[in-house]
Amino acid sequence: MKGKMFLSAEEVAGKLGVSMAYAYKLIRTLNGDLQKRGFITISGRVSTQYFFEKLYGSNAGGGKGEKNAGIQG
């Protein structure tokens, strides 16, 4: 599998141009959504696929191999 399944807070902050504190807050929110749907999450990391779906409505920022990263369904 190519591409990263998860983004770190540093990567989220860099992609969005926000502070690390906000990146962690966003990751907690996204992971909370995933947990409510029954998915397992990793603190301080967010599914690459879910990140792009929630922020851009698609896999717009994902590269090759990231389409199925993180969650399925």
Half-sphere exposure of 53 (CA within 13 A, CB side): 16
Rounded to whole angstroms, the maximal C-alpha distance in the chain is: 31
Average pLDDT over residues 5-20: 97
The reported pTM is 0.74
Tens digit of each residue's pLDDT (9 = 90 or more) over 14-69:
999 999 999 999 999 999 999 999 999 999 999 999 999 999 886 655 554 444 44
Neighbours of 60 (CB within 10 A): 9
pLDDT class of 2 with cuts at 50, 70, 90: low
- pLDDT band of 72, cuts 50, 70, 90: very low
User: What distance, in Å, lies between the first and last C-alpha atoms of the chain?
Assistant: 18
Torsions phi, psi of 7, nearest 5? -105, 140
